[in-house]
Chain A
């Protein structure tokens, strides 16, 4: 007790400075264990790295998890497949992706469908290409 009092008395300034500097980080941070079972199910692919994510990113993912129960099975699967890659992007990359998505949403539906068709074809070709090419072509 005396030691604690000594620390408070002599290091209060250092404590205050540290607390003030890290307040934005400390506030809002949540551990994986504190999440509800539904949130844990929605964010399952991130269970390992959850505690290393920034508070803001955690909060955004928790907001995503709220919508999870309303998604159909295919969308739930897509969400799970993409969450890890999404969380590994830099905040700037995610912002850029949001801008691009919003811009693409404003394109007329017909044009959008054409682009989607092209992308699907391109993806299908990419999936078929590695099997057709010799192993050396896959080397970095």
Chain B
């Protein structure tokens, strides 16, 4: 380490020294800012997992407004696709009557298949 380079201890001392020279209103404002930051940090830690996951996804698309718009569009498209596929599957007509008739009829299945 170079001789004229400041160590962590030096920096701490200089900051403490500078802080001691600040006027009272500034010190009060700094103290309030620190309290707020600490409170925010505590809230952040107990934030629910899914909220954090949501933020992670949100940030995965970058901070650009356009990217987030694409992300939202993609999500909506996926939900629509899935809902449509699910609805189509459930909306198929009930074939039970015909199926049971074919499977128990006195004519063999291949008569209807071939």
Identify the A interface with B (CB < 8 A).
5, 8-10, 12-13, 16-17, 20-21, 23-24, 27-28, 55-56, 60, 63-64, 66-67, 71, 75, 78-79, 82-83, 85-86, 89, 93-94, 96-98, 100-102, 104-105, 116, 119, 123
Q: What mask results when residues 78 to 93 of chain B are scored 1 for a CB within 8 Å of chain A, else 0? A: 1101100110111010
Chain A residues contacting B105 (CB-CB under 8 Å) are 78, 101
Residue B39 is within 8 A (CB to CB) of chain A in the complex: no
Q: Are the C-beta atoms of B107 and A63 separated by less than 8 Å?
A: no
Q: Are the C-beta atoms of B108 and A98 separated by less than 8 Å?
A: no
Residue in A24, A66, A71, A85 whose beta carbon sits within 8 Å of that of B109 in the complex: A85
B residues 31-74 with Cβ under 8 Å of A?
49-50, 52-54, 56-57, 60
Which of B53, B78, B81 has most A Cβ within 10 Å? B53
Residue in A9, A75, A96 whose beta carbon sits within 8 Å of that of B53 in the complex: A9
Q: How far is the CB of B109 from chain A (nearest CB, A)?
A: 5
